[in-house]
């Protein structure tokens, strides 16, 4: 594989994390325009951990993901009183606030005679873990997909579980869930925190893949895309948002002649799908039918 293909595949992998993060909240019926904030904050936190404090990468990812999860829960506790559109606007406002703060944060420490750390609008250079350890692009891609596989497996297990059903309950009728004895506030905060962690893992990987992050990358368009991936790919299974990412970052990226028009094609695709498949390609109904087909086949075999 040449470097270009590896880079595209790695991007698909890393963007998948933020897509899964937005998907988890879509399941609970919340539309967040702010998941890019957790992706970005974690990129900074993880970068700081490895570049400024010489931590190993797994510690960096852990620091980034935990920071993102905790901040997400705090923001969640403050904003979940809001519902629907108000929640969406609040998440957007928070994400922009986080981005603007990153634009002014300047903390430099000296590492091996060089100053490293976030430099406000100039971004955060020198997250050179990959070079220092002589990690190849391919190896890093395997790390990305390893963690992605782990995340997807966790989500699939949750979806099969009662917890997964409860998350879908919040999405379809949270008052009914509450009247059935579920503390909906608690599960909402749990979902918001888990979504923060997932976005955080992606952000931490991103910082180490690109070696350089700047606040501008974590603007609202990243969050809007993250939402769109789940809506395109489908809300019936965690594979849905992955399909969405593959269509956008993979397929549309690969077709060179539409390069300049990619956003137009993508936007049109989202609009068409929302009209004909409001809950995406793999929606609950289709996933349910697919499962029925598979289980029948298994029964036939047994």
Partner 1 sequence: MLELRGLSKHFGGVKAVDELDITVQEGEIFGLIGPNGSGKSTTINLICGVYQETAGTVRFHEELMNGKPPHQRLRAGIARTFQNIRLFPNLTVWQNLWVAQNSPEDLATQGFLSRWFGATRQTRREIATLLELADLEHKSDELASNLAFGEQRRLEFARAAAARPKLLLLDEPAAGMNRQEIHDLSLRIRRIRDSGVTILLVEHVMELVMGVAEQIAVLNFGQKIASGTPGDVQRNKAVQEAYLGTSDSDAPSLDTGD
Q: At what angle do helices 220-233 and 35-47 cross, to 10 degrees?
A: 120
- DSSP characters over 178-239: HHTT--HHHHHHHHHHHHHHHHHHHHHHHHHHHS-B-GGGGSHHHHHHHHHHHHHH-SSSTH
State which of positions 175-214 bind partner 1 (CB under 8 A). 175-184
Q: What is the CA radius of gyration of the chain?
A: 20
H-assigned helices in the chain: 3-27, 35-47, 57-79, 85-104, 129-132, 137-160, 162-179, 184-210, 220-233, 239-245, 253-254, 262-276, 284-301
CB of 151 to partner 1, least distance (A): 17
CB of 260 to partner 1, least distance (A): 39
CB of 12 to partner 1, least distance (A): 28
Q: How far is CA 108 from CA 115, 129, 192, 236, in A?
A: 6, 17, 31, 45
CB of 286 to partner 1, least distance (A): 11
Give 81 or 180: the residue with its C-beta nearer to partner 1.
180
Give 188 or 208: the residue with its C-beta nearer to partner 1.
188
Give 118 or 240: the residue with its C-beta nearer to partner 1.
240
Q: How far is CA 126 from CA 151, 209, 284, in A?
A: 28, 11, 44
Report the C-alpha gap between 280 and 237 in whole angstroms.
10
Which listed residue (172, 221, 251, 255) binds partner 1 by CB under 8 A?
172
Give 133 or 291: the residue with its C-beta nearer to partner 1.
291
Stretch of 62-70, 202-210, 244-252, 284-292 lying at the interface with partner 1 (CB under 8 A): 284-292
CB of 84 to partner 1, least distance (A): 18
Which listed residue (133, 262, 288, 297) binds partner 1 by CB under 8 A?
288
Q: How far is CA 258 from CA 142, 209, 269, in A?
A: 29, 26, 14
State which of positions 130-169 bind partner 1 (CB under 8 A). 157, 161-163, 165-166, 168-169
CB of 157 to partner 1, least distance (A): 7
Report the C-alpha gap between 14 and 140 in whole angstroms.
11
Q: How far is CA 30 from CA 77, 85, 186, 190, 213, in A?
A: 14, 9, 14, 13, 28
How many positions of this chain bind partner 1 (CB under 8 A)? 25
Stretch of 69-77, 121-129, 174-182, 218-226 lying at the interface with partner 1 (CB under 8 A): 174-182
Q: Is 284 in the site for partner 1 (CB under 8 A)?
A: yes
Task: Report yes or no: 79 and 91 within 8 Å, Cβ to Cβ.
Answer: yes
CB of 178 to partner 1, least distance (A): 4
Give 170 or 226: the residue with its C-beta nearer to partner 1.
170
CB of 299 to partner 1, least distance (A): 12
User: Which residues contribute to the site for partner 1 (CB under 8 A)?
Assistant: 157, 161-163, 165-166, 168-169, 171-173, 175-184, 284-285, 288, 292
């Amino acid at each position: 594989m040449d470097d270009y293909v590896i880079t595209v595949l790695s991007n698909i992998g890393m963007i998948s994390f933020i897509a899964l993060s937005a998907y988890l909240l879509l399941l609970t019926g919340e539309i967040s325009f702010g998941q890019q904030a957790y992706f970005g904050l974690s990129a900074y936190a993880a970068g700081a951990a490895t570049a400024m404090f010489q931590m190993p990468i797994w510690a960096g990812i852990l620091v980034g993901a935990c920071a993102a999860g905790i901040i997400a829960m705090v923001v969640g506790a403050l904003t979940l009183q809001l519902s629907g559109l108000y929640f969406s606007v609040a998440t957007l406002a928070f994400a922009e606030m986080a981005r603007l703060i990153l634009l002014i944060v300047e903390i430099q420490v000296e590492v091996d005679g060089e100053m490293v750390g976030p430099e406000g609008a100039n971004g955060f250079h020198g997250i050179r873990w990959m070079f220092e350890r002589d990690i190849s692009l391919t190896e890093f891609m395997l790390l990305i997909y390893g963690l992605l596989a782990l995340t997807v497996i966790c989500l699939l297990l949750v979806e099969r579980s009662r917890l997964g059903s409860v998350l879908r309950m919040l999405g379809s009728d949270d008052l009914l869930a509450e009247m059935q004895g579920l503390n909906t506030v608690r599960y909402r905060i749990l979902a918001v925190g888990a979504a923060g962690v997932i976005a955080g893992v992606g952000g931490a990987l991103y910082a180490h893949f690109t070696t350089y992050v700047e606040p501008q990358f974590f603007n609202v368009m990243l969050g809007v895309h993250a939402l769109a991936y789940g809506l395109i790919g489908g809300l019936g299974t965690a594979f849905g948002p992955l399909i969405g990412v593959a269509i956008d970052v993979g397929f549309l990226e690969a077709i060179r002649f539409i390069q300049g028009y990619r956003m137009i094609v993508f936007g049109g695709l989202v609009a068409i799908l929302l009209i004909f498949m409001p809950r995406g390609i793999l929606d609950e109904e289709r996933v349910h039918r697919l499962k029925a087909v598979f289980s029948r086949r298994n029964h036939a075999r047994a």
